[in-house]
Amino acid sequence: MLSRVWSATIIGIEGVKVGVEVDVSGGLPKTTVVGLPDTAVQESRERVKAALKNSGFAFPVRQITINLSPADLRKEGPIFDLPISIGILAASEQVDPTYLEQFLFLGEVSLDGSLRAIAGVLPMAVTASKLGFKGIVVPKDNAQEASVVEQIEVYGLNNINEVADFLQNPSAFSPTIPELNFDDSFHQSNYNLRDVKGQHHARRALEIAAAGGHNLIFVGPPGAGKTMLARRMASILPPLSFSEALEVSQIYSVAGLLKNQGKLIQERPFRSPHHSASGVALVGGGSFPKPGEISLSHRGILFLDELTEFKRSVLEFLRQPLEDGFVTISRARQSVAFPAQFTLVASTNPCPCGYYGDTIQPCSCSPRQREQYWAKLSGPLLDRIDLQVVVSRLKPEEMTQQKVGEDSEVVKERVAKARIKAQNRFHNAKISCNAQMRSQHLREYCSLDDTSRTLLENAIRKLGLSARAMDRILKVSRTIADLAGENNIQPPHIAEAIQYRTIDRMQ
């Protein structure tokens, strides 16, 4: 007898339909799995055999061939345990195969026949919905996660016996009701800008970065408040839309990091990897590529504290994602693209001792030491950082003042208005902020009058700026104009944007 059960696997963050074909025929007892299975899939033979026996079913003492199609697609993980189990039961006429074509089956089985949760259910549920399946059968612990997908019924079951009963009469089971938990006004940060004393220039840079999605670096001595400022940027970002929350949640589902099963991620991601992180940890990879820190920061913030302590080779991996908004990982059998539209926020000391340019403590580094220190950051990488801000230590009178700074909610309102203004300008160009503008958008939306053009040309000559740096200045100017409610870029907007390009490698 031959049976076919539909399942799915993950390529990047996309679900791909997989057919699980099971043939039970005469011959010496043997179970063979073909179709490029990894070790975990091969081991499913033993798990499924024990699970079926312990659930009261008969495991066929015959020759069993299990084919996972398409055969040229690598299959990994215990996700195919449930479809293989159902396929064997259907091929040996122990369950009714009538409804198999209407549903997609996912799940790991324990030796006692119970179903265990798996990673990556959300994108596979999205795929099932797109392909027109009536429903999806998953472990009970995955049901709420999958139920956020519209136009598909999700059945969360506890064990193989329940799955067999479900196939006898699906109408006797009720699909999972999703928890209506998404709130587009979600308050996402325990940090608040009102806690920051002084640092008005740095606070302004944070607002501009949040409004336009611009990359930002703080440079200053220890204790100046660089990390404190960076961690408060999340408090002024607008909340995720439903489509963005679904996109981010899919990435975390694939990575196995989706907490609170059944609830979409509503906080904009804030990832802060240690400076010892490898290139694979940062951009993703592995024999079966998984998302790295830059993809886990998608639609949010990637904070690199002590930027110059990272290996230069690791930092160079950021260049392409910062430009394109995605990262492509190529392997011998496949090439996978992960989204990576993040805002880079970094901090670093100006020199090895940390006090170059400080008005209180003198620097003990030689020019050669400072040069070697900044050599860890390449020119092309610095070009991609729109806002380069020097943060000085507070004066004693600023540290002791009791005056509270501007609240994050007030700044957040200005940021939201500026983003809405930008989105209305781009219409359906799939651009959510000014930092994502391309050359054609710069020509159309960043035209300059004669005074502004002369100002920009002089800055390019004096600072030795590249064409990319010039484009960054125009994007930042466009954001400053949006914050001011202006339709056209004015000379003061250009002048302010130029101020954020004055870190000339801090030599």
d(CA 341, CA 320): 11
Q: The dihedral of CA 381, 382, 388, 393: what is its sign?
A: positive
Q: How many residues does the chain have?
A: 507
pLDDT of residue 320: 92
pLDDT of residue 505: 42
Angle CA 391–213–224, to nearest 5 = 15
pLDDT of residue 183: 58
pLDDT of residue 131: 96
Q: How far is CA 309 from CA 258, 267, 304, 431, 493, in A?
A: 30, 28, 10, 33, 34
Instruction: Choose among 121, 96, 140: nearest CA to 5.
Output: 96
Question: Residue 199 corresponds to which amino acid?
Answer: Q
User: Residue with structure tokens 């039970």?
Assistant: 24
pLDDT of residue 507: 45
Helix segments in 79-217, DSSP class H: 81-91, 121-130, 143-147, 160-168, 200-212
Domains of the chain by range and CATH?
A: 2-172 (3.30.230.10), 193-415 (3.40.50.300)
C-beta neighbour count of 361 within 10 angstroms? 12
Q: Do residues 24 and 88 make contact, with C-beta atoms less than 8 angstroms apart?
A: yes
Residue numbers of the chain with a pLDDT score lower than 70: 180-189, 260-262, 332, 402, 428-429, 504-507
304-340 burial by CB neighbour count: b if 16+ within 10 A, else e?
bbebbebeeebbebbeebbeeebbbbeeeeeebbbbb
pLDDT of residue 399: 72
Cβ-based neighbours of 277, under 8 Å, separated by 6 or more: 293, 310, 314
Cβ-based neighbours of 4, under 8 Å, separated by 6 or more: 19, 20, 21, 22, 87, 100, 101
pLDDT of residue 181: 60
